[in-house]
Chains A and B, each alone.
Chain A
Amino acid sequence: MSEKVLMKGNEAIAEAAIIAGCRHYFGYPITPQTEIAAYMAKRMPKIGGTFLQAESEIAAINMVYGASAAGMRVMTSSSSPGISLKSEGISYIAGADLPAVIVNAQRGGPGLGGIQPSQSDYFQATRGGGHGDYHMIVLTPASVQEMAELTVKAFDLADKYRMPVMILADGTIGQMMEPVSFDFKLNEPPAKPWATNGTKMQREHNIINSLYLKPLDLEVENMKRFERYEIVKQNEPMYEEYMTDDADIILAAFGIAARVCKNAIKKARKEGIKVGLIRPITVWPFPNEPFEKAVKTCKAIISVELSMGQLIEDVRLATGGKVPVTLCNRVGGMIPEPEEILEEIHRVANGG
């Protein structure tokens, strides 16, 4: 499939997962991500894979736990309320040092909220969500092409670091169609000598577990895990910079919000206001570097997001109070219009 095809973002995730070697998908339907499950239901039986619609989100994530323990590339997907239900299982997967790919096509919350796009699960994705000290690598696609590419990357990262990876998308990117090419360079998945896939009487039993009743043992496990997280922080931050070179004002945004920002930037530049964009592609690990660089030359940063101000906290941490950081947001399924962002740019350009 090297030719470009038109596909919904959700379908692109599913196809890319299959190309990446995922043969096991466990899910439970919820808008706006159901196309992922539908695509898997259609394709998996034809290629000898498993599609299973579980009885609940909790069941689905525990099936992911099991398949991953057996060494398989496995994925689940849901939307915000469903991810809350899966969070217990995600914590167990992190605690057992297992790779897994979890998609969250975010919708407005809290509670059942609505079904329109949102980015208000940022804290949940980057700060845990489940209990205990753990992280997921969190990837934030902003186009259908990135939905595909980052899905392949998610499987590689999950295997490499033995940790869950979340694709933090939203209803818009999931539902929209854009041309996408599946012409990827694929990496061979690493060997998984730790997998519980049968000893064949030739090795010791492997044990997958997250229970450590001796405090010292559990402390050691936590410390080791965080040493690994340090390596992830060193190696894996990803971001895009757009017109930042001469920018006086820098917008910080990911996913669909970043797309709208580019319209606002074009309008602002036409008026002679120098605006640029830093778009984190990983939000954990957070790309501090471009922000550390930006504060040396820019005058202010505006965090543009579909939440009450979550990304802004990481932007403030990265910029260390060196420049003012303001918030431009819509929530509940609303998306800021380019004009609204432009208004905030005007406000900040005129000294706030």
Chain B
Amino acid sequence: MTKQYLFAGFGGQGILFAGKLLAYKCLMDDLNVSWLPSYGPEMRGGTASCGVVMSDNQIATPIVLHPDVLIAMNLPSLDKYESEVQSGGVIYVDSSLIERKVNRKDVTVYYIPATLLAAQNGLDGLANMIIMGQILKNEGAINDESVEKALQKCISQRHKDLLKFNRDAIILGSEY
């Protein structure tokens, strides 16, 4: 089975990091995985996106055009990618930053006020991990050992103090 994720939002929201965590989790689960960021003259506040493809088979293209799962962390991302999601797919919306509802009727939508939750819980900047917690819960993977292993891989030794906050954010998101 092959599953394609597209993470999209502003630069600085940890879009690439969220994708990387998922990619590392797949690696820890012994799945094939690719992670491809948008790259360009991008900066904090600009747009950022990355596509993650996971498969128990060889991965052909790493380019995600029609995701099974879209994580939209700002309005331009939802506007741009909503129509690209596969029928029957899933859209995660940061509802504290995106006021409108998803128009599609053939997808499952989760509205999570992730940025607000992060601010209320002293987890500023970790809206990405709050949404990740919700994804992991919905996919029945929240208790996988590979999540912790992936966190250990993604957070460098130098920033080890941030591990706890990331864990807390994931748990918070999974409980929403």
Contacts and interface: CB of A to CB of B under 8 A. Distances in A.
Partners in one complex: yes
A177 B36 CA distance: 6
A255 B58 CA distance: 15
A177 B32 CA distance: 11
28 contacts: A4-B27, A6-B23, A6-B33, A32-B39, A115-B39, A115-B40, A116-B40, A171-B39, A172-B36, A172-B62, A176-B34, A176-B35, A176-B62, A177-B20, A177-B35, A177-B36, A178-B62, A179-B27, A256-B61, A259-B60, A259-B61, A259-B62, A260-B60, A260-B61, A261-B60, A263-B60, A337-B65, A338-B61
A43 interface: no
Contacts of A259: 59-62
A266 interface: yes
Interface string A319-352: 0000000000000000101100000000000000
B61 A263 contact: yes
Nearest to A4: B27
Interface string A123-136: 00000000000000
Contacts, number: 58
Contacts of B37: 175-176
Interface residues of B, number: 21
B131 to A, nearest CB: 20
B63 A172 contact: yes
Contact of B33 (A171, A179, A256): A179
Given A175-B39, A178-B34, A262 B20 contact: no
Contacts of A256: 61, 63
Given A4-B27, A6-B20, A6-B24, A176 B61 contact: no
B3 interface: no
B153 interface: yes
A176 B60 CA distance: 13
Nearest to A265: B60
Interface string A169-186: 001100111110000000
Q: Which 4 A-B pairs have the closest CB atoms?
A: A262-B60, A177-B35, A176-B36, A263-B60
Nearest to B153: A6
B39 A178 contact: no
A338 B23 CA distance: 23
Contacts of A172: 36, 62-63
Interface string B48-71: 000000000011111101000000
Nearest to A337: B65
Given A6-B20, A116-B40, A179 B60 contact: no
A38 to B, nearest CB: 14
Contact of B63 (A177, A261, A335): A335
Contacts of B35: 6, 176-178
Contacts of B20: 6, 177
Contacts of A335: 63
A261 B39 CA distance: 23
A50 interface: no
B22 to A, nearest CB: 11
Contacts of B153: 6
A175 B63 CA distance: 12
Interface in B65-82: 65
Contacts of A179: 27, 32-33
Contacts of A177: 20, 23, 34-36
A74 B43 CA distance: 33
A330 to B, nearest CB: 12
A31 interface: yes
Contacts of B40: 115-116
A172 B35 CA distance: 10
A268 to B, nearest CB: 13
Contacts of B39: 31-32, 115, 171, 175
Nearest to A338: B61
Contacts of A262: 58, 60-61
A262 B32 CA distance: 16
Contacts of A115: 39-41
